Chain A
Amino acid sequence: MDYLVTHSPALIVALPLLAAFAIPLISRLGPRVRAVLCLAVLGLVAALVAILAVDVHAVGIRLYTFGATAPEMALPGGYMVPVRIMFEVDGMSIFMGIVITTVAVASLIYSLQFLNGQTGQARFYSLMMLLYVGMMGLAFTGDMFNMFVFLEIASIAGTGLAAYRTNMADAVEGGFKYIVISAVSALMVLLAIGILYAQYNVLSIAALAHYMQYTTLDMMALGLLAGAFVMKLAGVPLHMWAPDTYTVAPAGTTPMILAASYTSMYALYRITFTLYGGHIDTAAIGWIVIIVGVLSMFVGVMMAVHQTDIKRMMAYHAISQGGYMLLGVGVGLAVIADPVALANYGRDAMNGGIFHIINHVFYKAMLFMTAEAIFFRVGTRDTNKMGGLARNMKWTAIFYAIGALAISGIPPFNGFASKLLIYQTVLSFNPVLSVIAMFVSLVTLASFAKVFYSAFTGPEMPGYKEVREVPKSMLIGMGILAACIILFGIFPGLIVDTIVAPATEALINQAPYINAVMGAAP
């Protein structure tokens, strides 16, 4: 057990990586064996994530230094700087780990029957595992350069998945847009890493934060990193790729690509709070984050209202909901230097923003799955051509309704819990922002209700008499997420206390992250 806990950060990344390259070989034994292997690997990794989460919750930061005599030994004997590659898992990292793993399990189960009869399935599962590896590595890494490498792994795998249906012209276009913005933003990150390395001669995030002087060059690096990650997380005005890529990716993978966007958001937080924490002008940077958040919220929802493509509408809503997360965390960042305001509402605003990540990934992942379930049976994404589908696709309709209510912030679903936290705290910070947030929520409800009526209710369409409910594995995939949505909606306090609050604490207080590596340095 001890051995498992100690080595879990490495195993969580290594096992799916091995599986990714074993899958094309195993596929020769038949699709059933492949499905069992994929499920077994992800199930095992999910168990490891759970073990690690309990450990991080109880003990604190878990360090894994590759190649060291003991994994906790960040500084080799006689050295004053960390030279080895390391993973550093704190509250925020494990929070992202839980989000990514849950979505990956649901997506995998959903994909099993969704892909029946399609060619290139072996490569599909390989890429899915690689995307998972990229995201988990990005969440766990304690090293700037590995951040770049895992970002690229996630980008390449994500592109392969988005453009999986190469026979469809729009799928290839969506994939191409994704790789262009991913390649450019990853290279910007590398340029920033070069600038940081030139000054401090280290790559470890903790060591960089320890030595940070905040010179003009550091400011340029911060600008490059922030720009790159805002582009990757689809914040307005750098959101243009997201609707295209989310729309065309096959359903099992849209949730994963969505989670990859929020992993980039995690990287943005890691940079601003941990790497530059204590040096930047927090009020100014906080306001920039708030403005990007409010713009994303507003532009996203306004673009979503008039869409007729169901997945495209949801993609714009994803941009809009990303704005809530930025708003919550931005408010926290703006008041981080003021202990009274931080205690009064700043910490809760950040709790709300971070809680919204997990809530949003769950319900939006499920909504994308329902949209693709309709596409799977009906063959169109155009809401004007749908109608009366609830007669034959009861479960899909129920899941859609749960997701729609959750995204609009209606109790007792999880969206309500995090949105309420954001409204309340932002109200004490600046009432105007809170009003905008509530208005956006109303428009969201209107837009989802409109699609529900046009797609699921109404008279039976003559062409869709033979439409049946989607296969079991797809329903199970959606059901897992629906169960999480309802559970999180009923017990929000429990979730906030166990996984969200440690994540917020990890962001606000950068000292433990630095000391875990640099504590022994003179």
Chain B
Amino acid sequence: MEHIPLNFPFLAAMLLVGISLYIIVFKRNLIKLVMGVAILSSAINLFLVSLGYRAGGVAPIYTDAPEGSMVLPVPQALTLTNIVIGVAVLALMLTLVIHIYRNTGDIDSHKSRILKG
């Protein structure tokens, strides 16, 4: 029973990856597609943060540090970077969706599609 709480975040992350890939591949609404990418990004953030968790570890802040071994903050740094990049990508995607809506009057990927063949 002791292992379940530790493995649970990884299972949740993989479940989220699966859900997001399903959304990205099968949903026709472009806003939902953007949401799928956002979920994928969050799933990977969850994965990275769970990687960095060490039971009983102490945050690597030297001021008034409590007793115990400090954790290496690399996964947290990766997560922060990914959050920042994710915001940029989402903003860009939503901008393009707005442009698609203005140009074609639709955000259904089957109806707004021009390029094919």
* Chain A residues near B (Cβ < 8 Å): 145, 149, 152, 155-156, 159-160, 163, 166-170, 172-176, 179-180, 183-184, 186-187, 190-191, 193-194, 197-198, 201, 203, 243-244, 247-248, 307, 312
Contacts and interface: CB of A to CB of B under 8 A. Distances in A.
B85 A149 contact: yes
Contacts of A149: 81, 85
Nearest to B47: A194
B115 to A, nearest CB: 4
Interface of B: 17, 21, 24, 30, 33, 37, 40-41, 44, 47-48, 51, 72, 74-75, 78, 81-82, 85, 88-89, 92-93, 96-97, 99-100, 103-104, 112-115, 117
Contact of B112 (A173, A184, A307): A173
A312 B114 CA distance: 13
Contact of B78 (A172, A174, A194, A243): A194
A194 B93 contact: no
B93 A183 contact: yes
Contacts of A186: 85
B93 A169 contact: no
Contact of A176 (B17, B47, B82, B96): B96
A179 B89 contact: yes
Grouping DSSP codes into helix (H, G, I), strand (E, B) and loop, the A interface class, with mixed when no group exceeds half, is: helix
Contacts of B81: 145, 149
Given A191-B17, A194-B48, A203-B74, A159 B92 contact: yes
Given A163-B99, A187-B41, A194-B48, 9 more contacts: A152-B89, A172-B100, A173-B114, A176-B96, A180-B93, A183-B40, A183-B41, A184-B37, A197-B74
Given A149-B85, A244-B115, A183 B37 contact: yes
Contacts of A160: 92
3 nearest interchain CB pairs? A169-B103, A172-B99, A244-B115
B96 A163 contact: yes
Given A160-B92, A191-B44, A176 B97 contact: yes
A243 B115 contact: yes
